[in-house]
Structure 1
């Protein structure tokens, strides 16, 4: 089933250049848009937004560490282009594919926002889904790699959300440092 869904999505590639170009952008660049949203939230200066950014980064970092240090080496699943003839639209190393790092990052951000800012979280979840579909379309991941990334991200972000009250002093420390630096910069600029 994993391969059948992969074949269906990947066989759509190389028929229309504009769709291929769009999917390449979705596969590689949506995560940068998502990260830019986090940067924007941080620079709103609102403590609640800054804590949300911190916990989003924490969720993503923990999920990516679990993926790269534990799951990926243990599962060691080959990428589609290693095992099959595929329409590979973007270059990629022939390393382990499960779970997808791009999808792990995208879903970690999306779920972290979803718990606190529903509307923005839904938009980000849509972007994460687009990232996952595009990673399959361009031939570098199986659907199972995306589902695994989604499950890992959901678990990690939910755990971080549930324990965030115990960790509050950590983001508050970074927020205080940020505010001291920005107030000094503004004070120097005013002179």
Structure 2
């Protein structure tokens, strides 16, 4: 393990223990609750995109799928590196604020950071204005994993990069077939398919003109 990375881990966890109790509790909560916030943003993006053209809706529908693919990639990489968690491996480090994951739950790359990086990029591809919301949230989630003591800094940096890359590639490769599927769903005779895909922009404009 790189000595500088280990030293940075110690510095961050020492700092975490010097913060007020409410900050520590907030970090412990955020490190998991952040995933729920990204899930809520996915739902909101899908709902808003139901009244857009087929391609923007397809990207909104692909966003959580691309994030799931990034998570699977992260899980697949872990056994190849078999990096022990710093909360067990770093001598003389401050105790982790969160429970140290059990042996065999490897540290590199960080699944949480991978999910955060993927979700942030996927949501930006849905709506560019979300950049100023999703990127800070992803960085905060990644930092929180080191702050609570369960990851090295390089774990979360790699996770963010992996998630962002996989999400971007997945959306790029999947947008065209997903757009065709959306068009088919909007023309389907199945009510559930039409509801999921939404009415598209034509129905939205017609509704607006009738007001």
Shared fold per TM-score greater than 0.5:
yes
- Kindly state the Cα deviation for residue 115 of structure 1 after the two structures are TM-superposed: 2.9
Unpaired stretches in structure 2, ≥5 consecutive residues: 199-211
Distance 1:81 1:171 in 2: 46
User: Who is 2:173 aligned against?
Assistant: 163
Aligned partners of 1:110 and 1:125 also within 8 Å: yes
Structure 1 range deviating more: 51-60 or 130-139: 51-60
Distance change (3 Å), C-alpha of 1:104 and 1:179: same
Q: How does 1:108-187 map to 2 (within 5 A)?
A: 108-168=118-178, 169-170=180-181, 177-180=192-195
Mapped pair 1:58 → 2:65: yes
- Kindly state the Cα deviation for residue 170 of structure 1 after the two structures are TM-superposed: 4.5
- Tell me which structure has the larger Cα radius of gyration: 2
Mapped pair 1:87 → 2:92: no
What count of residue pairs does the alignment treat as equivalent?
182
User: Who is 2:32 aligned against?
Assistant: 28
SS in 1 for 2:94: coil
Aligned partners of 1:51 and 1:172 also within 8 Å: no
> What's the TM-score once normalised by structure 1's chain length?
0.84
> What's the TM-score once normalised by structure 2's chain length?
0.76
- Kindly state the Cα deviation for residue 161 of structure 1 after the two structures are TM-superposed: 3.1
Structure 1 range deviating more: 72-81 or 48-57: 48-57
SS in 2 for 1:139: coil
Segments of 4+ moved more than 3 angstroms? 47-50, 169-178, 180-183
